[in-house]
Amino acid sequence: VGTIVFENSTSASKAVAKEIADLIKVKQAQKQPCILGLATGSSPKGLYAELVRLHKEEGLSFKNVIAFNLDEYYPMEPDSINSYVRFMKELLFNHVDILPENYHIPDGTLSKDAISEYCSQYESKIEAYGGIDLQILGIGGNGHIGFNESGSLQNSKTRLVALDHITRVAASGDFSGLNNTPRTAITLGVKKIMEAKRVILMAWGESKSHITKESVEGTVTNLVPASFLQEHNNATFVLDKEASSKLT
C-alpha cells in the first residue's frame, strides 16, 4: 500500500479531488459511467468542498457519476440531522449535477428482516456497473473502514453490523450522548471495498497517526481491517503530516 504525505489536509483533499475529476473526465470521454465509492465523516469534507468548487467554478460535470456510499446508521431516517443521506446531500449531491437516481446510500429505514436481501441487492447494483472505479475511505481509530469494525473478515459482505464502543463514543457528540447513539449500521463489506479498482484512504491529524502506522506497517489482520489494504494492488493512504508522524 502506498502513502502520500501532504503539508495539510486542504492540499491533500485538493489532490484527491483532482484525481477524481480526472477520472470522471476520462470516463466522460469514453462515454462510460464513473463509479465512485464514497465515505462520510470529517475526513472527506474538504474533498467534497473542492469537488463542489470544481463543479461551480471549473464546469466539472457529475452527469456520468454513479455513487455508492459506504454506510448508514441503522435505524436512521434520511432527513434526520445525523443521517448520512443528509450529510451527502448537504456537502456534495445538492451542489453538483449528479442525477438523484445515480446516488445510493444504504437505507436506514428498512425493517430488520428486509436488510439482508437489501444488502445483497446493493452489491448486485455495484456489480452490474462493473464494480467501483474509485473508493474513498476514512479510517476509524480502531482501524475500521466503512463500518467494518475490528474482527471483520476480508471477504465480508454488505451487512448489518454492531458498532464498536469506540466508534459510538466517537459519534456520540453528534448524537448528544452515547445513549442516543445508534448501536448498529449497514456497511458495505470488506470484499466490495477490496474489489474497487482504486482505493484512497484519507487520514488527518495526530489522533490517526497510531492506527495509520498499524494499518500500513503492521501485520495484516482482521483486528485492523484497514490493514487489508496492504493486499490491494492500487491503494494509497493520503495523509497530512500529523497522521504520518509515526510512520518509519
Positions in the binding site for ligand F6R (CB under 6 A):
39-43, 70-71, 138-140, 144-147
Catalytic entry in 50, 149, 214, 242: 149
Q: Smaller CB distance to ligand F6R: residue 41 or 78? A: 41
The least distance separating ligand F6R from the CB of residue 172, rounded to whole angstroms, comes to 13
Q: Which of 12, 43, 9 shows the shortest CA–CA distance to 137?
A: 43
Q: Smaller CB distance to ligand F6R: residue 64 or 88? A: 88
Peptide bond into 75 cis (omega under 30): yes
Task: Burial-class residue 208 by CB neighbours within 10 Å (0-12, 13-18, 19+).
Answer: buried
Q: Residue 137 forms beta bridges with which residues?
A: 201
Q: Smaller CB distance to ligand F6R: residue 64 or 226? A: 226
In whole angstroms, what is the distance from residue 66 CA to residue 101 CA?
9
Q: Smaller CB distance to ligand F6R: residue 144 or 192? A: 144
Kindly report the backbone phi and psi dihedral angles of residue 66, in degrees, each rounded to the nearest multiple of 5, phi listed first: -115, 120
Q: Which residue is nearest to ligand F6R (CB)?
A: 138
Q: Residue written as cell 463500518? A: 147
Q: Smaller CB distance to ligand F6R: residue 64 or 136? A: 136
Residue 43 DSSP code: T
Q: What is the DSSP string of 167-204?
A: HHHHHHTTTTSGGGS-SEEEE--HHHHHHSSEEEEEE-
The least distance separating ligand F6R from the CB of residue 62, rounded to whole angstroms, comes to 19
In whole angstroms, what is the distance from residue 45 CA to residue 138 CA?
11
- Side by side, the strands of the sheet bearing 34-38 are 2-6, 235-240, 198-203, 134-137, 34-38, 65-69, 103-104
H or E stretch at 123: helix 115-128
The least distance separating ligand F6R from the CB of residue 59, rounded to whole angstroms, comes to 28
Catalytic: 50? no
The least distance separating ligand F6R from the CB of residue 238, rounded to whole angstroms, comes to 12
Active site residues: 149
